[in-house]
């Protein structure tokens, strides 16, 4: 029997996981100084964020922007209750993460064979076999594993990705000991319809496995997909400060849904995030200053809905 979804009730707590320091910084053309990365992470924590993907333990040759992973983790202020995660592509990365004091690691395999070959140069099943050792190591260290599935809602090379394929990978992650899976919308191909299909397929194939959603705003429907996720009972969403982000190995990729925009939507919809929107906007402006260009988020420009303006400073129509 197919799983029947229950929407998230109003007033419930929604976990917002900030991924900008990893997913955003990795694609920037210029190296962001370690001290500036630490400053941004600390500002995001000060705004109330308690889940953050701070960095990635990838090869510095592949992603030189994150070559300072250990230094960043050693330098940040960790508030009580914070959950620090990092992306690990392989066993070597997992060994580095275990020594850096993370609370969880995030692995990634693509739901499409072509994208997995482009992203990590191996077939899907080979990636999953390699994660056996990663998961075993993390479990020995008491570190949670979050299984990431890229191109979960469509592939820029193959097109449609069947929900059953996503569910198969999710079940494999569950068998390896992962506590949750994160569905990645790598090039912004998700729609409310594909979100519903993927979530329901996973719940049928891997009962009890946690599900998080990671949307990009490539086609402008990222927040609509969040609303679809809420209707399916999903309470964990990734977002990136200012709307930074994008996969360097996927044609047409653009930034993630923006953290400030997501928090604004959730707060205005009656959900609890524990995040101070004004402080978050300040952190986004700090990030924008460090990056050195305007970021695509909307709330950073407009402010909250009830922001007040001085009528005396606004032009009056004439004629």
**Selected catalytic residue, list 17, 225, 247, 258:** 247
What is the maximum alpha-carbon separation in the chain?
75
What does the alpha-carbon distance between residue 57 and residue 96 come to, in Å, rounded to a whole number? 7
Of residues 307, 244, 303, the one with CA closest to residue 277: 303
144 three-state secondary structure: strand
- Catalytic, 225? Answer no
Query: Which DSSP helix (H) or strand (E) runs through 172?
Result: helix 163-176
Q: Are 280 and 304 in contact (CB under 8 A)?
A: no
Kindly state the DSSP code that residue 304 receives in the 8-state scheme: -
Number of helices (H) and strands (E), helices first, in the chain?
A: 11, 8
Q: Classify residue 140 by burial, with Cβ atoms within 10 Å: 0-12, 13-18, 19+.
A: exposed
Residues labelled catalytic = 247
């Amino acid at each position: 029997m197919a799983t029947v979804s229950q929407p998230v009730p109003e007033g419930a707590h929604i976990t917002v996981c900030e991924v900008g320091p990893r997913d955003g910084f990795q694609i920037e053309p210029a190296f962001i100084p370690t001290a500036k990365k630490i400053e941004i992470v600390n500002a995001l924590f000060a705004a109330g964020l308690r889940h953050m993907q701070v960095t990635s333990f990838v090869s510095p040759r592949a992603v030189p922007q994150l070559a300072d992973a250990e230094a960043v983790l050693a330098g940040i202020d960790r508030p009580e209750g914070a959950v620090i995660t990092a992306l690990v592509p392989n066993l070597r990365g997992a060994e580095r993460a275990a020594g850096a004091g993370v609370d969880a690691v995030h692995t990634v395999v693509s739901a499409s064979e072509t994208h997995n070959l482009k992203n990590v140069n191996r077939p899907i099943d080979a990636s999953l076999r390699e994660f056996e050792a990663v998961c075993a190591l993390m479990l020995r260290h008491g570190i949670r594993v979050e299984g990431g599935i890229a191109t979960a809602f469509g592939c820029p090379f193959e097109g449609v990705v069947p929900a059953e394929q996503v569910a198969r990978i999710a079940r494999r992650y569950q068998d390896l000991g992962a506590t949750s899976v994160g569905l990645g919308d790598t090039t912004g191909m998700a729609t409310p319809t594909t979100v519903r299909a993927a979530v329901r397929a996973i719940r049928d194939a891997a009962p009890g496995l946690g599900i998080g959603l990671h949307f990009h705003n490539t086609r402008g429907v990222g927040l609509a997909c969040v609303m679809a996720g809420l209707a399916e009972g999903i309470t964990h969403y990734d977002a990136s400060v200012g709307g930074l982000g994008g996969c360097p190995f996927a044609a047409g990729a653009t930034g993630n849904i923006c953290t400030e925009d997501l928090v604004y939507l959730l707060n205005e919809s009656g959900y609890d995030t524990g995040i101070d929107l004004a402080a978050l906007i300040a952190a986004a402006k700090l990030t924008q200053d460090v990056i050195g260009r305007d970021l695509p988020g909307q709330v950073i420009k407009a402010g909250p809905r009830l922001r007040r303006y001085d009528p005396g400073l606004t032009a009056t129509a004439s004629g």
